[in-house]
Amino acid sequence: MTKGIFITFEGPEGAGKTTIIQMIAEQFDNVLLTREPGGIDIAEQIRKVILDKGNTAMDPRTEALLYAAARRQHLIEKVKPALDEGKLVFCDRFVDSSLAYQGHARGLGIEEVFDINQFAIEHMMPDLTLYFDIEPELGLKRINSHSGREVNRLDLEKIEFHQKVREGYHLLLAQFPKRIIKIDASLPLEEVFQKTICIINERIKNL
């Protein structure tokens, strides 16, 4: 058992979770804010390979294994030590991204992708997962209007892929109703922020 609290932020492209996670982190003390894939040097190097727009030949299983490898290194090098110190860890994406993107949208199977991830995470699941829900059309429109945000290999997928990602998250919501809480990310930012804070405070109180 670790002393800290592990909270992950999930959602399709353009749900605004990266903005929200920063606003939320400012409200708490003793926080580690990090992201996947990446967050530490080795995992950032893997991120470059996975998201490189030139890597069009990448096989879906290779993609799933690379995400799992980046996850493992990040968990061991950064997340677990912070939890052991009693920190509140906010992570932008974690295993549910692999289940929704590689498991469901790529068609590898949610169970199969969960299995390879168990090898990587050794059952270290989040205490709470906030899922920011948005229609893919709206999410992608938001990304395209953001100047400065990198456009990666997965952003370039067809709209059907992004619809499948959302469908995958909805399957996960049904599978893990206690751990994953849905937030409507199409609402104004301030409203999304307030709802998110309330859910986190409530969960921390009841842990």
Q: Does 34 interact with ligand TMP (rule: CB under 6 A)?
A: no
CB-nearer residue toward ligand TMP: 17 or 80:
17
CB of 14 to ligand TMP, least distance (A): 9
Q: Does 132 interact with ligand TMP (rule: CB under 6 A)?
A: no
Q: Does 93 interact with ligand TMP (rule: CB under 6 A)?
A: yes
Q: Is the dihedral angle over the CA atoms 172, 10, 50, 138 positive or is it negative?
A: positive
Distant-in-sequence, close-in-space partners of 105: CB < 8 Å, separation ≥ 6:
157, 161, 162, 164, 165, 167, 168
| CA angle at 76 for the pair 75 and 77, rounded to the nearest 5° | 100
Q: Does 154 interact with ligand TMP (rule: CB under 6 A)?
A: yes
CB 98 within 8 A of CB 49: no
Q: What are the E-state strand segments in 11-120?
A: 31-35, 88-92
- Binding ligand TMP (rule: CB under 6 A), the pick from 6, 101, 132, 169 is 101
Closest to 91 (Cα-Cα) out of 125, 63, 66, 118: 125
CA 162 to chain centre: 15
CB-nearer residue toward ligand TMP: 36 or 133:
36
Q: Order across the sheet with 88-92: list the strands.
A: 31-35, 88-92, 5-10, 128-133, 180-184
Q: Does 33 interact with ligand TMP (rule: CB under 6 A)?
A: no
CB of 202 to ligand TMP, least distance (A): 25
Q: Does 152 interact with ligand TMP (rule: CB under 6 A)?
A: yes
Q: Does 124 interact with ligand TMP (rule: CB under 6 A)?
A: no
- Binding ligand TMP (rule: CB under 6 A), the pick from 37, 126, 139, 168 is 37
Q: What values do phi and psi take at 88, rounded to 5? A: -90, 115
CB-nearer residue toward ligand TMP: 4 or 37:
37
CB of 37 to ligand TMP, least distance (A): 5
Using CB under 6 A, list all residues that contact ligand TMP: 13, 36-37, 67, 93, 97-98, 101-102, 152, 154
